[in-house]
Amino acid sequence: MKIWFIGDIVGQPGREYAGEIIRKYAPLYQPDLIVANGENASHGRGITSKSAEELYDAGVELITLGNHTWDQKDLLNFIDHDQRIVRPANYPLGTPGRGYTICKVGQISVLLINAMGRAFISELDSPFRAIDEILLEHPSIHHVLVDFHAEATSEKLAMGWYLDGRVSAVVGTHTHVPTNDARILPQGTAYITDLGMTGPRDGILGMDRTGVLERMLTHRPARFEVAAGRRQFCSVFIELDDHSGKACSIEPFLQYEE
C-alpha cells in the first residue's frame, strides 16, 4: 500500500499547487491513499468547508489539522459529520470532531491519528497517552498513520521512537520546513521529523514577509497575509507491507517552482 502524505497546505496558492501536483503525479505514482495536513488551508489559518472540498476534489482523501484547527469558525459546521478530517486527539473530552479516523483501502483498514505536541506549542493532554489509548481501542488495525503536529524536533523524535513497531508511520508537521531525516526505525515505523509546507515559497513559512518582519522588528502587532509568487510542494511517499502494516520505504517528494 502506497501512502502519499502532504505537508501543511497554506492558503489558495497551497491548495492550487497541491491540486496541480496531485493531478500531474498521481497517475504516475498511483498512491492508494492521499493524506494532507490542512490546518493552514484557508488564508493560512484553519480550514473552511470550501477549502476542504477543494482539497477533496483535488484527490486528497483525508485531512489532518493542528494548532490552527479552530481558526475558521466554519469548521464547526462540518467537523462533527465529516469523517475524513481529524483534529489533534489530545484535546479534552467533549471537543468537537475526532482525533482519529478509520478508512478502507481496498480490504485493509487504515487508522489515521492526529496529535499535537506540548513543547512550545500547546498545553494539551499528553499526546503519548492519547495515542496509546487509541491504539489500545483498535488492536486489530495494523496500518496506522500518525501526524504528530509539533514544534520541537526532540518531541517529534521521541514520538517516533515511542511508537516504533506499533504504528506504520509517524510524520511530523507544523514547522513548515522539511527535514532531511526520513528513515525507517528498527521496528518498522517510517519516520520524518517534518514534511514541510505546500504553498508560497518566498514568504516566511508561507506568509508574506512584510508582516512577519514588521512584527519581528517592531514587536508590535502586524497583519499576516498569505504570500504570493513561486510555490513549493512538500510530501513523502510511504510504502507499507499490506500484511504486517510495517513500512517498506519512505521517500520525500518535493517540488519547487523556479
Residues designated as active site: 68
Task: Report whether 81 belongs to an annotated binding site.
Answer: no
Give whichever of 8 and 155 is closer to Fe ion, judged by the CB atom.
8
Q: Are 231 and 20 in contact (CB under 8 A)?
A: no
Give whichever of 174 and 246 is closer to Fe ion, judged by the CB atom.
174
Fill in the DSSP letter of residue 40.
Answer: T
Task: Report whether 174 belongs to an annotated binding site.
Answer: yes
Task: Report whether 90 belongs to an annotated binding site.
Answer: no
Q: Are 110 and 134 in contact (CB under 8 A)?
A: no
Question: Residue 3 belongs to what H/E stretch?
Answer: strand 2-6
Minimum CB–partner distance for residue 40 and Fe ion (Å) = 5
Give whichever of 40 and 114 is closer to Fe ion, judged by the CB atom.
40
> Cell numbers at residue 66, please?
493542528
β-pair partners for 113? 100, 146
Task: Report whether 43 belongs to an annotated binding site.
Answer: no
Residue range at the interface with Fe ion (CB under 5 A); choices 21-29, 122-130, 169-177, 243-251:
169-177
> Cell numbers at residue 46, please?
484553519
Minimum CB–partner distance for residue 130 and Fe ion (Å) = 17
Half-sphere exposure for 159 (CA within 13 Å, toward CB)? 36
Q: List the interface residues with Fe ion, window 35-54 (CB under 5 A).
A: 39-40
Fill in the DSSP letter of residue 74.
Answer: G
Minimum CB–partner distance for residue 29 and Fe ion (Å) = 24
Q: List the interface residues with Fe ion, window 55-114 (CB under 5 A).
A: 66-67
Give whichever of 47 and 130 is closer to Fe ion, judged by the CB atom.
47
Task: Report whether 54 belongs to an annotated binding site.
Answer: no
Residue 174 in contact with Fe ion, rule: CB under 5 A: yes
Measure the CA–CA gap between 110 and 242, rounded to whole angstroms: 11
Q: What angle separates helix 153-163 from helix 127-137, to the nearest 10 degrees?
A: 20
Measure the CA–CA gap between 196 and 101, rounded to whole angstroms: 23
Phi, psi of 26 (to 5 degrees): -60, -40
Give whichever of 101 and 198 is closer to Fe ion, judged by the CB atom.
198
Task: Report whether 137 belongs to an annotated binding site.
Answer: no
Measure the CA–CA gap between 178 and 143, rounded to whole angstroms: 24
Among the listed residues 4, 6, 7, 8, the single contact to Fe ion using CB under 5 A:
8
Residues tagged in the binding site annotation:
8, 39-40, 67, 149, 174, 176
Residues tagged in the binding site annotation for Fe cation:
8, 39-40, 67, 149, 174, 176
Q: Give the residues lining the site for Fe ion (CB under 5 A).
A: 8, 39-40, 66-67, 174
